């Protein structure tokens, strides 16, 4: 964004409204020095303050963002901002994948539709006959379709209802030196088996074989088909039950976000905002949709406004949604 051009626009509109820098500062809750810095192109207001300036000076957000002429600069800004946001919010709001079995993931909280119903049926069948015909169970689907939730959920269900020892491992938590500990479990849950480092593959496959031979249940999730996994790791395992989980339907994605909103304290996010997020973003990855939802919390804290409606959501998410609509090639970034 051209800071000098934006500063000139701010100054022009302020003078047209016959406001002093101090009067404008008082209107939007900043110091007059901040106004001076903006008008001289020394600094830009953040997105929350930008909205207040726009309201005070009757400037539309479209006028602001049309100042960015270079598509590559836009893409760089978009990429950097999105990467920072997603990484930050994954950690800050615990959206990142767990490293062990976590009781917050329950099958009762999982929103079921035709894209994932078969997976739920398969997991229920496995729970009733651990270590028998459906072993190992291989759950295949794209990122953000709910594989981890299902895997964790069935693990907690088995642990709570069948008095079995369940161990969950991911590519980040698996340890070759702990295989003897893993073998003591009754059920082994392996998340994203396609992401494991080459140095862990040998021990991981030996562990799967041990569980199957001893009629202990193994449930695996993967982003790729079993054949591709075989080619990738140059290892062969007979997956006795392969089920697919697909991108949830639009209404399902909305319901998932509504469930997330119900978990939030000290903030009100109107139902129309959920519709706005799902309808206006190209992302169907549920994890990223949650991160977009949680990003509204930061906006609420910065603006001290904990009631988020359409107007607030449009302001907070304008950069993301505006770039998506006009530069669809950016989607490949994700």
Condensed to tens digits (0 to 9), the pLDDT of residues 106-153 reads 998 899 999 999 999 999 999 988 988 789 999 999 988 999 999 999
The region, left, alpha or beta by phi > 0 then psi within -120 to 50, assigned to residue 215 is left
Predicted pLDDT at 85: 55
How much is the pLDDT for 303? 78
How does pLDDT run across 275-334, given as a tens digit for each residue?
998 988 767 788 888 878 887 877 787 777 888 888 888 888 876 666 555 444 333 433
pLDDT of residue 139: 95
Higher pLDDT, 167 or 92: 167
Percent of the chain as helix, strand, coil, to the nearest 5: 60, 10, 35
* Mean predicted lDDT score pLDDT of the chain: 82
Helix or strand run (H / E) with residue 26: helix 21-28
Residue-wise pLDDT for 45-61, tens only, equals: 765 677 778 888 888 75
pLDDT at residue 219, rounded to an integer: 96
d(CA 262, CA 260): 5
Strand partners, 279: none
Lowest mean pLDDT among 49-53, 170-174, 207-211: 49-53
Whether the CA torsion 176, 182, 188, 189 is positive or negative: it is negative
Q: In whole angstroms, what is the distance from residue 297 CA to residue 306 CA? A: 8
Q: Is the pLDDT of residue 39 over 50?
A: yes
The answer to whether 315 touches 51, Cβ cutoff 8 Å, is yes
d(CA 250, CA 255): 9
Looking at the chain, the whole-number percentage of residues with pLDDT higher than 70 is 82
Strand arrangement of the beta sheet that strand 241-244 belongs to: 166-169, 187-190, 217-222, 137-140, 241-244
178/183 Cα distance (integer angstroms):
9
pLDDT value of residue 310: 87
Q: Parallel, antiparallel, or unpaired for β 268-269 and 217-222?
A: unpaired
Whether the predicted pLDDT of 83 surpasses 70: no
At residue 76, does pLDDT exceed 70?
Answer: no
Q: Output Rg (C-alpha) for the chain, integer angstroms.
A: 25
Task: Please report which confidence band the pLDDT of residue 210 belongs to, taking 50, 70 and 90 as the band edges.
Answer: very high
The confidence score (pLDDT) of residue 311 equals 84
Task: Kindly report the backbone phi and psi dihedral angles of residue 191, in degrees, each rounded to the nearest multiple of 5, phi listed first.
Answer: -95, 135
Closest among 192, 193, 185 to 217, alpha carbons compared = 185
Handedness of CA 40, 46, 52, 54 (dihedral sign): positive
Q: Which residue has the tokens 């949680």?
A: 294
User: Global pTM?
Assistant: 0.68
Where are any strands of DSSP class E within 210-290? 217-222, 241-244, 268-269
Count Cβ neighbours within 10 Å for each residue of 92-101 and write b for 16 or more, e otherwise.
ebebbbbeeb
């Amino acid at each position: 964004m051209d800071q000098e051009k934006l500063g000139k626009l701010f100054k022009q509109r302020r003078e047209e409204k016959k406001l002093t820098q101090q009067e404008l500062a008082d209107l939007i809750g900043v110091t007059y020095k901040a106004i001076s810095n903006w008008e001289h192109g020394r600094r830009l207001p953040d997105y929350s303050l930008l909205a207040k300036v726009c309201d005070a000076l009757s400037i539309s957000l479209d006028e602001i963002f049309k100042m960015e002429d270079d598509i590559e600069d836009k893409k760089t800004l978009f990429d950097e901002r999105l990467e920072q946001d997603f990484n930050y919010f994954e950690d800050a709001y615990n959206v990142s994948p767990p490293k062990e079995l976590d009781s917050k993931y329950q099958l009762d909280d999982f929103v079921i539709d035709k894209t994932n119903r078969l997976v739920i049926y398969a997991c229920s069948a496995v729970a009733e006959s651990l270590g028998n015909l459906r072993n190992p169970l291989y759950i295949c689907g794209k990122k953000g379709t709910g594989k981890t939730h299902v895997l964790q959920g069935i693990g907690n269900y088995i642990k709570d209802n069948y008095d079995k020892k369940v161990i969950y491992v991911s590519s980040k938590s698996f340890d070759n030196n702990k295989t003897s500990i893993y073998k003591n479990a009754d059920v082994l849950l392996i998340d994203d088996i396609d992401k494991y480092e080459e140095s862990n593959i040998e021990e991981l496959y030996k562990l799967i074989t041990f569980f199957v031979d001893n009629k202990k249940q193994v449930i695996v999730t993967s982003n790729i088909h079993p054949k591709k996994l075989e080619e990738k790791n140059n290892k062969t395992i007979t997956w006795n039950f392969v089920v697919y989980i697909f991108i949830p339907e639009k209404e399902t994605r909305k319901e998932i976000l509504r469930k997330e909103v119900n978990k939030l304290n000290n903030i009100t996010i109107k139902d129309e905002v959920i519709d706005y997020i799902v309808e206006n973003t190209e992302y169907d990855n549920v994890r990223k949709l949650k991160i977009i939802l949680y990003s509204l919390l930061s906006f609420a804290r910065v603006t001290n406004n904990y009631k988020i409606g359409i107007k607030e959501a449009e302001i907070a998410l304008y950069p993301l949604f505006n770039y998506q609509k006009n530069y669809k090639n950016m989607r490949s970034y994700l």
